[in-house]
A and B are shown apart, each in its own frame.
Chain A
Amino acid sequence: MEKILEVKDLKVSFQTYGGTVQAVRGVSFDLHKGETLAIVGESGSGKSVTSQTLMKLIPMPPGQITGGEILFYGDDIVPKSEKEMENIRGKDISMIFQDPMTSLNPTMKVGNQIMEGLIKHQGLSKADAKKRAIKLLELVGIPMPDKRVNQYPHEFSGGMRQRAMIAIALATNPKLLIADEPTTALDVTIQAQILELMKELQAKMDTSIIFITHDLGVVANVADRVAVMYAGQIVEIGTVDEIFYDPKHPYTWGLLASMPSVDNDTKDELAAIPGTPPDLTNPPIGDAFAARNKYALAIDYEEEPPMFQISETHFAKTWLLHPDAPHVEPPEAVKLRQRQMSSNFDKPIIVKEGI
């Protein structure tokens, strides 16, 4: 499959009064055409900063890309100027934001907001752009689109605003769509509709999607591959089955075990991850997760673990995969879901560089 995006060792930091916050500390991943990559992690793990950096939406200063490359179709975005970015944003890469209440312009008709991109990037006339906007509203399932196109965002419900956001994002047939928690503010029934809509449109247009969320249920629903982020780094990445049925990193174990399952009726205490995420102005030495990790080894406090490769597609950054590490049993809730993956290598391999 064709690679459309390669992120290599990306580092982003912010200057604040309290010091330099290293929000993203060496993130590498790639994205294929038509694929959905989900990025999960808690607030402050750097998932939103990573995605905003892909569109260079972080305010600079105080933000700064301190290293790495973002290759979009082989072309590095990092050195591009603001003017050059304007030709990429909304045309090749679009974004759907979390909060549909605040990310639409309340003083502009919904139709005009969709037309903006069409007129700027595709050079359509106003009349043609409007026709296309009506088509797009119809596509995302808004009834009476010819009437709705002339309405303001406050006349739309939350679910409909998010649909309008999707229409804006898809107006110019972008090659990459970044969705930053697009359904977090919505009810479950509306969420299910929006997810179905996004999948349907993806199949039609062959768009690649980066989907940021902290809801593992949503991840299981939409993702082809999953990247788990912690303290500004990707700690595990693999196909959706590898992450859910054969997770290797103790942080991924913790996330999976801390969710109650609707299927089983146990009333045992939830396996909460103790403590809070580390302060990234002063990242801990060694493994950033060590202080909250009951499986932590002595070396976790001294040396940062390398990335281990478990299969063609599965990578995890933990010392537990080292041949000299003691064998540990994951929590009960994770054992219940574990399966033997036929694609796994005989032994995890250390990969020097990131992926």
Chain B
Amino acid sequence: MAEKLLEIKNLKQHFNVGKSNMVKAVDGITFDIYKGETLGLVGESGCGKSTTGRTIIRLYNATDGQVLFNGENVHGKKSNNQLKAFNRKMQMIFQDPYASLNPRMTVADIIAEGIDIHGLAKSKTERMERVYELLETVGLNKEHANRYPHEFSGGQRQRIGIARALAVEPEFIIADEPISALDVSIQAQVVNLMKKLQREKGLTYLFIAHDLSMVKYISDRIGVMYFGKLVELTTAEELYSNPLHPYTQSLLSAIPLPDPESERTRQRKTYDPAVHQYSADDKVEMREVRPGHFVYCSEKEFAQYQKEYKS
């Protein structure tokens, strides 16, 4: 595949370190994101998928591990200038389009905030032209520039959030459940827009979500998280046709499909972490069962998964 844009190595994010209520939200995950791809990250609430996204973009300081962006460590010490340059490359789209836009700023100011900070526009007219262009890119129009966020619907606000992320011409966008708060008919509009922008601008996405059918549709590869660990990582098609980790299987068996006939015969699998029976000296880690298909398993399970695969 293409070159690596982002390398995440043994990333850990623990909260309340040293106290009795320490939470290992992200507990040693390793994966790469390639240039121009969409990597989906799924899992139940509390599994650490959002924390992973926020740690990658340095909203949190990592407890341990490295995030390399174009070979450069994100969490290393940086001067203000370096940090500014880095922030331009990586942007985020948030889940709640109602809470993530400042209600007291006009749409033009929200979108142009990044442009102002990075000095990307030389004059006022250039700034406004840029804003109009961005509004058009995301399917809104010029007249919207002077309005306030409360005048827009959820789908429109999410488009404003996307325009704001695009304003500084980033290479990489972390989308944290960008469509969860939207209606079904509007979700498709936003997903289509994100795909179109990716084609036109060669963007790379980390797409965090719990709606598995939408994740499959938008992602090239998907990672499944469970309790702070990445348990399976492979291409979208492979994950759905050959899920190997029992948690992935249970997750997939729980999605209701819009098809009454298959629903009547649904067999749901439950996941019990005890099935693994890991002993203390088992080395449990990500192993490549097939080229490009990684599963978190022990040596013994690895052999078993490989056998399962052949049959």
Contact = CB atoms under 8 A, between A and B. Distances in A.
- Do A and B originate from a single complex? yes
Interface of A: 42-43, 158, 187-192, 195-196, 214-221, 223, 240-241, 244-245, 254-256, 258-263, 265, 267, 269-274, 276, 337
Contacts of A265: 237
Contacts of A260: 213-214, 216-217
Nearest to A265: B237
A214 B184 CA distance: 7
Interface residues of B, number: 39
Given A42-B185, A258-B184, A276-B153, A215 B216 contact: no
B103 to A, nearest CB: 19
B250 interface: yes
B217 A188 contact: no
B213 A220 contact: no
B150 interface: no
B8 to A, nearest CB: 24
A265 B239 CA distance: 12
B260 A244 contact: yes
Contacts of A192: 254, 256, 268
Contacts of A273: 185, 188-189
A255 B260 CA distance: 15
A214 B191 contact: no
B53 interface: no
Given A272-B185, A274-B189, A215 B256 contact: yes
B281 interface: no
A196 B266 CA distance: 11
A240 B255 CA distance: 18
A220 B210 contact: no
B283 interface: no
A261 B188 contact: no
A270 B184 CA distance: 11
Query: Which secondary structure characterizes the binding site on chain B?
Result: helix
Given A258-B184, A272-B185, A272-B188, A221 B263 contact: yes
Contact of B260 (A158, A220, A254, A261): A220
Contact of B188 (A158, A188, A271, A276): A271
Given A158-B45, A220-B263, 5 more contacts: A42-B183, A192-B268, A220-B258, A220-B260, A272-B192
Contacts of B266: 221
Given A196-B268, A255-B184, A262 B213 contact: yes
A338 B262 CA distance: 15
B187 interface: yes
Contact of A263 (B185, B210, B257): B257
A221 B256 contact: yes
Contacts of B192: 269-270, 272
B9 to A, nearest CB: 29
B5 interface: no
Contacts of B44: 187-190
Interface of B: 44-45, 153-156, 183-189, 191-192, 195, 210, 212-214, 216-217, 237, 240, 250-251, 254-260, 262-263, 266, 268, 270-271
A43 B251 contact: no
A330 to B, nearest CB: 15
A244 B259 contact: yes
A218 B251 CA distance: 15
A291 B156 CA distance: 18
Contacts of A42: 183-186
Contact of B195 (A195, A262, A269): A269
A216 B188 contact: no
Contacts of A267: 217
B61 to A, nearest CB: 28
23 contacts: A42-B184, A42-B185, A43-B154, A158-B45, A187-B44, A188-B251, A188-B255, A189-B271, A191-B256, A196-B268, A216-B258, A217-B255, A217-B256, A220-B260, A245-B260, A260-B214, A261-B213, A262-B255, A265-B237, A273-B185, A274-B189, A276-B155, A276-B156
Given A220-B258, A259-B213, A214 B183 contact: yes
B185 A255 contact: yes
Contact of A261 (B45, B153, B183, B257): B257
Nearest to A240: B260
Contacts of A195: 256
